[in-house]
Structure formats: structure tokens, C-alpha cells
Copies of this chain bind each other. A is one copy, B any other.
Amino acid sequence: MAEPIPILGGTGALGYGLAWRWAQAGEGIVIGSRKLERAEEAAEKLRAEVDGAQVEGLENADAVARAEVVFLTVPFRAQSETLNNLREALREGQILVDCTVPLAAALSGKATRTIGVWQGSAAQQAAEMAPDGVTVVSALHTVSAPVLAGDGPLDEDVLICGERKADKARVARLIERIDGLRAVNAGPLEMARIVETLTPMLIAINARYKTHAGIRITGLPEGDHWK
């Protein structure tokens, strides 16, 4: 049987939206949370919403053990503590997909601004904090949580940053299991400095257009870039 997809912070808006879409695509899900009870509640909700959903709720550290590729969807203010708590749980060879965005809102600032992260980006902070042998890939900053959790079709791109194409390709395959999402290779992990700032830009656009905007890259050749 295929590995399930652990989503740390899977009780939050982005994490739960991803879980909902992946469950519909037939993927097994592990919803991770700081508290077992909240993870189990979210798993139960997902089972009620998606017929035949393969989903369990676990504490983050237990969720991490269930697969090689793990998604981290906690808010930025919880990223550092979460990673500290996972130092013993994360193991060599794992890929940690960091989806956090350093919105200034984490420090009572605006959601249309970021705060400066010393390492350059939230993803680079995650890479510094992750144990040796754990690879960080950055993705999923521009897909709106309400759109993911809604019933409408998706039609947008997900920009993926990371050092090695093979690692990004593994993440891309999972992301493209969700109908209407295309994974685009946006370069090395340092490009997360740029990609993470697309979230506040989209939030500014959302306010002006009363919508939930996303991103498309135009001009890409047809065919599968990830082969």
C-alpha cells in the first residue's frame, strides 16, 4: 500500500484543505497536531466529509513516522517550536515540505507584509533547524486555504523550491495528485525568499478584488518537467 501523507498542523485551514483534496484523490492522510485530541477530531470530520477517506489523527511526532515525505502547514509563529519538538522524530532521508509564510501578522503586523527571517525565508529556517539528513523543500504558499477546502475546481500552479530536482519531483507528484494543481520548479531553496512573499501579495490582491487569488506561470512548455 502507498505511504500516507502526514500533514503536521493538519487541523489548520491550509493543512485541512490539503487533507480534504488528497482524501478525495484517494490518498491516505495522517493529520498531525500538537494535541492528539484535535488531530482525531479533524480526522473524524474528514471521514464524515469524504466517503471512504483513509485518514488517522496523531500527534505530530507520531505522524512524522508514517511516511518519508511530510508536510508542515503550521502558522509561522508555531514553526520554530514545532521543529524543535520534532528533532527526535524526524529521521535521515525524510523530506520536510515547509509551507509556512513569515507574515508580519505573526507579530501583530499586517498580513500584506512579511517579517525578515535571518536565514532568508521560513523554509531556510526550517532547513537550519531540521536534523542532519532531512531535506527541506518549500511549496504550497499560493494556494488559498478556503479554495482548497471548497467544492470548486482548482486551476493554478504551486511553486516548489529546493536543492535537488529529484526531491522536488517527489513532492510535485504528491501535489499533482490534487486535480487542477500544477507543480512548477522555481529553483533552489533560497528562492523561497521570493515565493513566500507571494502570499502577502495575493492577500493584498484578494482585498482589492474580493476573491481568493492564486498564481499561474505562463509560457511553460507542454509536457512533464518532472520526469
Interfacial residues, chain A to chain B (CB-CB below 8 A): 112-113, 144, 147, 155-156, 159, 184-188, 190-191, 193-195, 197-198, 200-202, 204-205, 207-221, 225
A221 and B209 within 8 A (CB): yes
Which of A190, A202, A205 gathers most chain B CB within 10 Å?
A205
Q: Whole-angstrom distance from the CB of A110 to the nearest CB of chain B?
A: 10
- Given A215-B217, A216-B215, A225-B208, verify A195-B201 contact (CB < 8 Å): yes
> Once the chains are docked, how many angstroms separate the CA of A207 from the CA of B187?
9
> Once the chains are docked, how many angstroms separate the CA of A202 from the CA of B217?
8
A213 and B221 within 8 A (CB): no
A187 and B205 within 8 A (CB): yes
B185 and A208 within 8 A (CB): yes
Q: Whole-angstrom distance from the CB of A111 to the nearest CB of chain B?
A: 12
Q: Whole-angstrom distance from the CB of A225 to the nearest CB of chain B?
A: 7
B211 and A220 within 8 A (CB): yes
Q: Whole-angstrom distance from the CB of A123 to the nearest CB of chain B?
A: 14
Q: Whole-angstrom distance from the CB of A139 to the nearest CB of chain B?
A: 14
- Given A191-B112, A197-B194, A200-B194, verify A213-B218 contact (CB < 8 Å): yes
Q: Whole-angstrom distance from the CB of A165 to the nearest CB of chain B?
A: 8
Which among B191, B214, B221 is the interface contact of A219 at CB below 8 angstroms?
A: B214
Residues of B within 8 A of A205 (CB): 184-187, 217, 220
Residues of B within 8 A of A156 (CB): 218-219
* 5 closest cross-chain pairs (CB), A and B: A187-B204, A216-B216, A214-B218, A194-B197, A156-B218
A213 and B219 within 8 A (CB): yes
> Once the chains are docked, how many angstroms separate the CA of A215 from the CA of B159?
12
Q: Whole-angstrom distance from the CB of A166 to the nearest CB of chain B?
A: 14
Residues of B within 8 A of A215 (CB): 215-218
Which among B204, B209, B221 is the interface contact of A191 at CB below 8 angstroms?
A: B204
Q: Whole-angstrom distance from the CB of A195 to the nearest CB of chain B?
A: 7
A219 and B147 within 8 A (CB): yes
> Smallest CB-CB separation from A147: which chain B residue?
B219
